[in-house]
Amino acid sequence: MGIEVGSPFSMVAERVSDEVATLRRRVESRLKLGLSLRSMSYGLRRDLNVPIEHPSAKIPISVRPMRDEDLDILLPDDPLLPEQERMEANWRRGFARNVGGGGFVAIDERDGSPAYMQWLLSPAQNDFIARLKTFPLLQADEALLENAYTPPSHRGLGIMSAAMALIAERAADFGARYVMTFVGHDNVPSLKGCRRAGFDPDMVHHRHDSLFGVIRRNSFEKMAAEDPRRGWEQM
């Protein structure tokens, strides 16, 4: 006899499957770190008091807070998806269970479907941010944009910049003036997308993982005003 979809047993089985997949991804990620791995990313910052020219996507979009059903649409547990896509989906489902709110989605206004997701974290979530061991804790007037994802169905439509610009402005609702986000120094398309959303390079994040990630050291270096990396030509 099979397990009925939607039954308590089915829900438990799905949860266990997600947790196993998340654990697998964590183990694989740890192994990739090796005995010693150094990486660098840029911290970009937007001052919400400075007006920007909002970028446009190739389709009409709007943003709203994330709903439970959005996760099933954006992050389907589909065995036919490529392995990397499934791992990304499983990891984000785990993130959604633990983050404690702050998720937003961009909606494709043509049919109402969710087309992009990202979390906007507030200082009230500093305990969660500390557990990530990757980002600086937020001050009272700061927010952090993290974990952006565009499903395959909506890639190549310029949604990221347009959605980021709109989601960042929701930080004013909890009193933030500055919004930060971090991008790998060699991820040029994402860096340029963040710049279009009003984010300027502000700091350099140096990360050193040792012993398969058991020991992690982070340092955050504020860029000088004359630092050439603040300019478009270096991004």
Tens of pLDDT, residue by residue over 74-100, are: 998 888 888 888 888 888 999 999 999
Q: Which residue has the higher pLDDT, 190 or 234?
A: 190
CATH number for position 77: 3.40.630.30
pLDDT at residue 217 tops 80: yes
Residues 52-73: what's their mean pLDDT?
96
State how many domains the chain has: 1
pTM of the model: 0.80
pLDDT in tens, 120-159: 999 999 999 999 989 999 999 999 999 999 999 999 999 9
Q: Are 74 and 151 in contact (CB under 8 A)?
A: yes
The β-bridge partners of 209 are 37, 216
Q: Are 139 and 188 in contact (CB under 8 A)?
A: no
pLDDT at residue 3 tops 50: no
48-62, 144-158, 196-210, range with the lowest pLDDT: 196-210
Predicted local distance difference test score (pLDDT) of residue 77: 82
Instruction: Decide if 1 is inside a domain.
Output: no
Instruction: Decide if 197 is inside a domain.
Output: yes
Sequence-ordered strand ranges (E) for 129-214: 142-149, 178-184, 200-210
Confidence of residue 228 (pLDDT cuts 50, 70, 90): confident
* SS3 label, residue 166: helix
In angstroms, the CA 189 to CA 235 distance is 9
In angstroms, the CA 171 to CA 121 distance is 8
Instruction: Decide if 2 is inside a domain.
Output: no
Instruction: Decide if 187 is inside a domain.
Output: yes
Q: Are 127 and 112 in contact (CB under 8 A)?
A: no
Instruction: Decide if 218 is inside a domain.
Output: yes
Tokens of 226: 């004359």
Predicted local distance difference test score (pLDDT) of residue 18: 56
Find the domain containing 75 and state its range.
Answer: 8-234
Give the HSE-up count for residue 63: Cα atoms under 13 Å, Cβ half-sphere: 22
pLDDT in tens, 69-79: 999 999 988 88
In angstroms, the CA 37 to CA 6 distance is 43
Residue position matching structure tokens 């099933």 = 72
Sequence-ordered strand ranges (E) for 70-199: 103-108, 113-121, 142-149, 178-184
Instruction: Decide if 215 is inside a domain.
Output: yes
pLDDT at residue 218 tops 90: no
